[in-house]
Amino acid sequence: MLEKQYSNQGPIKNGLKGCGCLTLGLVSILVIGLLTYASLVAIGALLIVSDPIVPVDAVAVLSGGEGDRLALALDMHQRGYARYLVITDTTVEANEQLIREAIAGGFVAGDIILTTMQVESTVDEAIAVRELALNRGWDGVMVVTDPYHSFRTRFIFRRELRNSGIDVYVRPLEGHWFRSPSWFIHPEGWRFAFLELVKFFSYLFLRR
SS3 66: coil
pLDDT at position 94 over 90: no
On whether the 58-176+187-206 domain is CATH 3.40.50, my answer is yes
In this prediction the pTM is: 0.83
Percent over 70 (pLDDT), the chain: 88
pLDDT band at 10 (very low <50, low <70, confident <90, very high): low
Contacts of 95 (CB under 8 A, 6+ apart): 87, 89, 114
> How far is residue 85 from each of residues 10, 50, 108, 139, 208, measured CA to CA in Å?
79, 19, 9, 14, 26
Residue-wise over 114-138: b if at least 16 C-beta within 10 A, else e?
A: bbebebeebbbbbbbbbebbeeeeb
Predicted local distance difference test score (pLDDT) of residue 6: 47
Spacing of C-alpha 189 from chain mean position: 11
Interatomic CA distance for residues 19 and 101, integer angstroms: 65
- Return phi, psi of residue 204, to 5°: -60, -40
Question: How does pLDDT run across 137-149, given as a tens digit for each residue?
Answer: 999 999 999 999 9
Predicted local distance difference test score (pLDDT) of residue 67: 54
> How far is residue 80 from each of residues 50, 83, 167, 195, measured CA to CA in Å?
20, 7, 18, 36
Contacts of 115 (CB under 8 A, 6+ apart): 86, 87, 88, 89, 125, 128, 129, 131, 132
Q: Which helix (H) or strand (E) covers residue 129, if one does?
A: helix 122-136
Question: How does pLDDT run across 108-119, given as a tens digit for each residue?
Answer: 999 999 998 889
> How far is residue 28 from each of residues 15, 101, 186, measured CA to CA in Å?
20, 53, 26
Question: How does pLDDT run across 22-35, given as a tens digit for each residue?
Answer: 787 787 888 898 89
Question: How does pLDDT run across 150-205, given as a tens digit for each residue?
Answer: 999 999 999 999 999 999 999 998 888 999 999 999 989 999 999 999 999 999 98
Predicted local distance difference test score (pLDDT) of residue 65: 59
Mean pLDDT, range 95-100, rounded to an integer: 89
